[in-house]
Amino acid sequence: AIVSQFLSDDHVKSRLIKDVKQFNEKRGVVNNEYTLAQAEKFIREMRKLGVAHDGQTFIAKFCSLVSEIGNALAYMRMMRSGGLRAVADSAVFVPFSGDFTRLERVLDSDASGSEDEVDKGDGHAGREEKTESESDEKSEDAPVKCKQTLQAMRAVDQVVGNMRKKLSEGSDYFHMLLEAVTRRLKGAIKYTHLKNFHMIIPPICVLHVEMMVREKEQLVKKNKDGIFTDDGFALGCAFLLKLFGVWDSFESLHWFESVRNHYGARLRAVKEGISAHEQEVSDRASGEGAPSPYGVEDVSNMHLTAMMLETVMSEFTTLEEAFVSSKVFFYSASLEAGIDVEKQEEEEEEAEKDTNLGGDAQGR
C-alpha cells in the first residue's frame, strides 16, 4: 500500500511518466540505455519535495522501504529453510525408501488403506471396531493386539508420513505470495501507475550504492552501526518488478550496462592521467620530456578518484549480481501462474453471478 501511495503521488507519478516518454522518444539516441545522468537528475527533482521528520528525503525512505520488503521475504525464506532443516534432522532414522511400509500393517496385516493415506488420516475410522469385532473370531493363540499399541503406531505413521511429505514437496511461498497479491492488482485501473515502477529503480540503485559506500566506510572507522551487506534491496526490487509485471521493461533500460560504461570511461581517463604523469616523471629523470600539466596535488586527487570509482563499480557489480540471483527466486512464477489466477477469477465471478441470480429469483 505504501509503495502504491508513493508512486501515485502527483509529483512522482508525473516525473515517472515524463521519463518513460523521454526514454521511448530518445531510445535510438542514447543507444537504448538509461543513463546515470538521468538517474541523478531524478534524485535532484525528488529532493525538492522536502524531507521527512527524520531528515531523510522521501525517495531515500522509499529505497529503505524496498529493502525492508526484501528483508521480510528473505526472513520468510530463511524460516522455511530452517523448518526443512529441522524436519530433515528429526527424520535421520526414518526410512524414506520407495517400499515404505506402515508400522500398523506390521502388527495388523489386515489394516486397510494405502500408504499415502497416512498423511490424510483415512482408513483409521472404524478400524478399532473392526479389530474388536474380529478379535472373538480369531484363535486364542493369535497375538493380542493392544488398542494403545495400534494407536501409537498410527500416530508414528502419521508423523513419518508428514515428514516424507514436507521433505518431498516443500512450499513455494514466493509463488504463493505473488499469486495472492497479483489477484488484487489484476485488471484494476487504480493500479496502472505501478507499471512505471521500473523507471524508479535506477535512481534508488544510485542511492543504495551511495549508502553502502558510506556504511562500509563506517566499518573501517570501527563504527558499530555500519553494515557490510544489504541483499534485501535487490530481492525487494526483484519481487516488485515481478509483481507489477515490468521486469522486461526494466531490462530494456540496460541500466547496469550504462553504469559500467560510464564509470569504466571515467576510470580509464583517470588512469591515463596518472600514467601520463608517471611517464613525465620518468622522462624528467632521464633529462627528456616536457613538464607535466598535472601537479603533485592533482595526481594525488586522481589516485583518490580512481579508488572511489573502483569502489563504486564494485558495489554496482555486487548489486547487479544480487539482482540476477534474486530473479531466480521468482523464475518459477511464470505465465502459468497468471493463467491460473485468471481462471480462478473467472470462476469467482461466475459464482458471484449465480449467487446474485439466485437471490433475485428468491426475491421475486
pLDDT at site 199: 92
Comparing 151 with 334, which gets the higher pLDDT? 151
* Of 171, 170, 168, 169, residue with least CA distance to 97: 168
C-alpha cell read off for 116:
499415502
Q: In 50-195, where does DSSP find H-type helix? A: 58-90, 103-107, 117-120, 127-135, 147-168, 173-185
Tell me the mean pLDDT in the region 133-138.
46
pLDDT at site 100: 57
What does pLDDT average to over the chain? 75
| 144 to 32, 132, 141, 150, 151: CA distances (angstroms) | 81, 11, 9, 11, 14
Tell me the mean pLDDT in the region 336-343.
45
pLDDT at site 147: 76
Contact 289, 283 (CB under 8 A): yes
pLDDT at site 355: 56
Comparing 134 with 37, which gets the higher pLDDT? 37
pLDDT at 204 > cutoff 90: yes
Tell me the mean pLDDT in the region 204-224.
85
- Cα 138 → chain centroid: 62
pLDDT at 291 > cutoff 60: no
- List the domain boundaries for the chain: 1-83+172-344
C-alpha cell read off for 227:
553494515
> Maximum distance among all alpha carbons in the chain?
118
Give the three-class secondary structure for 254: coil
pLDDT at site 159: 78
Contact 280, 290 (CB under 8 A): yes
DSSP assigned state of 195: G
Give the three-class secondary structure for 235: helix
Q: How far apart are CA 212 and CA 323, in angstroms?
A: 16
Q: How far apart are CA 223 and CA 218, in angstroms?
A: 5
Count, residues in the chain: 364
* Of 330, 346, 3, residue with least CA distance to 176: 330
pLDDT at 104 > cutoff 90: no
The predicted-structure confidence for 44-55, as pLDDT tens digits, reads as follows 999 888 888 888
Q: How far apart are CA 270 and CA 43, in angstroms?
A: 26
pLDDT band (50, 70, 90) for residue 203: very high
- Whose grid coordinates read 512505471? 196
Contact 199, 19 (CB under 8 A): yes
* Of 216, 173, 200, 168, residue with least CA distance to 74: 173
Lowest-pLDDT choice from 27-31, 74-78, 271-275: 27-31
Q: How far apart are CA 253 and CA 37, in angstroms?
A: 14
pLDDT band (50, 70, 90) for residue 121: very low
Element (H, E) at 47: helix 36-47
Give the three-class secondary structure for 34: coil
